[in-house]
């Protein structure tokens, strides 16, 4: 009985002590866990004169850079048109190519280029919720407008992909015209595939032109090994066969070719009266001169032919009048004159 009473008393004392506030232990617990677990401490909580540093962020590319890109593209197109139609100097075309390669290629990193923009435009037309950035639209449109006015001046001027190939073309050999004609058809197929894949619904959308771009890796100095292999192979072929990507692969070139077929102005090789000596046909690495006239759809406005025209050289005062006859005579004496396109190109006679 006594034992039971003691037991109850102990229990009640314990119970009361548990119910009573426990000042000492509660205070230490609050000190230990003073920090709220769900809220970030601010400078006042932290003390020690701490200031919150800003998050390490970089702002996206400023809008004015897009304006610079567009303005430079427009300017380069105008300069390329002037070179192809008025100034006619090869060194100017080379300088423009180098400048384009530097800015549109290496500095700008290549994206989004007019070639790839074809896909964005196709996606934009097919999907009304897909907005094409204004700069990308301008990059797609400006070369087409230029092509309608002055031919494929984009290819010979601002295009960095064209420029890198043009600059490695050391020893140009001409291809049989049939290879040029039928090989060139592949561009239309590529364009068709690219448009179909880009116009697919968002989940299945694919940009094959960008995926299989051979040169963008060079511009960025980084990229997948397959891209470098493809690009290097094209550049190696390009030392002999002029601009293989432009002539046989480039889908945008196909589009520009169609438009420039109807161009307002076309490249006229001889400055005044036609000579019909065929020296220009030999000088063209791209097989773009047929019957001694530049073909609107395939002429890339590289300005190589002008330097080989005796009349042009005379107009520049580089040769005397009697030398025109000598040069044309030399050209006429060559045995395979009937088929100039199959013949390898000679060194410039001047």
Partner 1 sequence: MAHDETRRNFLHRSGQAACAAAIVGTGAVLARRACSGDAWAIAPNRCVNIRLGVTGADKVCSSCAEQCVLALSAVRAVNQHDRCGRCCICPAYFDVRSQVGPDGLPTKKLCPRDAIIRTPIGEIDPYDPLNNFYEYTIDDEKCNGCGRCVMECKDPAGLGSIRLEVRYDLCLRCNQCSIAQACPEDAYVRVGPQPAPAEALEGGHA
Task: Name the residues that contact partner 1, by CB under 8 A.
Answer: 31-35, 37-42, 46-48, 50, 52-61, 63, 66, 109-112, 116-117, 119-121, 124-125, 128, 130-137, 141, 144-145, 148, 206-207, 210-211, 220, 222-224, 258-259, 261-264
Kindly tell me which of 199 and 315 has the beta carbon lying closer to partner 1.
Answer: 199
Kindly tell me which of 180 and 213 has the beta carbon lying closer to partner 1.
Answer: 213
In angstroms, the CA 47 to CA 42 distance is: 9
Burial class (CB in 10 A: 0-12, 13-18, 19+), 61: exposed
Q: Are strands 289-290 and 293-294 parallel, antiparallel or unpaired?
A: antiparallel
Angle among Cα 95, 92, 86 to the nearest 5 degrees reads 150
Shortest separation between residue 24's beta carbon and partner 1, angstroms = 17
Shortest separation between residue 223's beta carbon and partner 1, angstroms = 6
Kindly tell me which of 47 and 335 has the beta carbon lying closer to partner 1.
Answer: 47
Kindly tell me which of 197 and 277 has the beta carbon lying closer to partner 1.
Answer: 197
Kindly tell me which of 151 and 242 has the beta carbon lying closer to partner 1.
Answer: 151
Kindly tell me which of 21 and 47 has the beta carbon lying closer to partner 1.
Answer: 47
Which DSSP letter does residue 212 get? T
Shortest separation between residue 224's beta carbon and partner 1, angstroms = 7
Q: Is 267 left (phi over 0), alpha (psi -120 to 50) or beta?
A: beta
Nearby residues of 115 by Cβ (< 8 Å), 6 or more positions away: 159, 161, 209, 213, 250, 251, 252, 253
Shortest separation between residue 52's beta carbon and partner 1, angstroms = 5
Angle among Cα 253, 153, 239 to the nearest 5 degrees reads 65
Of all helices (H) and strands (E), which one includes residue 196? Answer: helix 186-198
In angstroms, the CA 324 to CA 341 distance is: 22
In angstroms, the CA 61 to CA 58 distance is: 9
279 backbone dihedrals φ, ψ, rounded to 5°: -65, -30
In angstroms, the CA 169 to CA 165 distance is: 6
Kindly tell me which of 66 and 316 has the beta carbon lying closer to partner 1.
Answer: 66
Kindly tell me which of 185 and 211 has the beta carbon lying closer to partner 1.
Answer: 211
SS3 255: helix
Shortest separation between residue 148's beta carbon and partner 1, angstroms = 5
Contact (CB, 8 A) for 216 and 226 = no
Shortest separation between residue 142's beta carbon and partner 1, angstroms = 10
Contact (CB, 8 A) for 193 and 208 = yes
Shortest separation between residue 321's beta carbon and partner 1, angstroms = 33
Kindly tell me which of 1 and 34 has the beta carbon lying closer to partner 1.
Answer: 34
256 backbone dihedrals φ, ψ, rounded to 5°: -65, -35
Shortest separation between residue 65's beta carbon and partner 1, angstroms = 9
Contact (CB, 8 A) for 300 and 184 = no
Shortest separation between residue 102's beta carbon and partner 1, angstroms = 17
């Amino acid at each position: 009985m006594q034992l039971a009473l003691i037991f109850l008393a102990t229990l009640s004392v314990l119970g009361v002590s548990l119910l009573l506030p426990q000042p000492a232990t509660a205070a230490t617990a609050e000190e230990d866990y003073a920090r709220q677990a769900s809220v970030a401490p601010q400078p006042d909580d932290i003390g020690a004169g701490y200031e919150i540093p800003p998050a390490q962020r970089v702002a996206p590319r400023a809008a004015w850079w897009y304006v610079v890109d567009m303005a430079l593209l427009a300017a380069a197109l105008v300069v390329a048109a002037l070179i192809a139609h008025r100034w006619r100097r090869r060194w100017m075309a080379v300088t423009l190519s180098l400048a384009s390669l530097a800015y549109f290629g290496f500095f700008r990193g290549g994206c989004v280029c007019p070639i790839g923009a074809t896909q964005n435009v196709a996606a934009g037309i097919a999907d009304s919720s897909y907005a094409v950035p204004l700069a990308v639209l301008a990059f797609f449109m400006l070369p087409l407008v230029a092509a309608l006015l002055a031919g494929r001046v984009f290819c010979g001027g601002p295009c960095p992909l064209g420029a890198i190939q043009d600059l490695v073309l050391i020893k140009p050999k001409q291809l049989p015209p049939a290879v040029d004609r039928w090989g060139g058809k592949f561009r239309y197929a590529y364009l068709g595939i690219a448009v179909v894949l880009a116009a697919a619904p968002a989940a299945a959308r694919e940009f094959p032109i960008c995926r299989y771009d051979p040169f963008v890796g060079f511009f960025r100095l980084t990229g997948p090994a397959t891209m470098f292999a493809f690009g290097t192979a094209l550049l190696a072929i390009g030392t002999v066969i002029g601009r293989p990507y432009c002539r046989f692969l480039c889908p945008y070139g196909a589009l520009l070719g169609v438009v420039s077929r109807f161009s307002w102005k076309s490249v006229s090789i001889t400055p005044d009266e036609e000579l019909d000596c065929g020296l220009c046909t030999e000088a063209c690495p791209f097989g773009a001169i047929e019957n001694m006239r530049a073909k609107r759809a395939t002429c890339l406005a590289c300005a190589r032919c002008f330097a080989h025209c005796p009349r042009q050289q005379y107009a520049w005062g580089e040769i005397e009048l009697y030398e025109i006859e000598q040069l044309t005579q030399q050209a006429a004496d060559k045995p395979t004159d009937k088929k100039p396109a199959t013949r390898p190109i000679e060194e410039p006679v001047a």
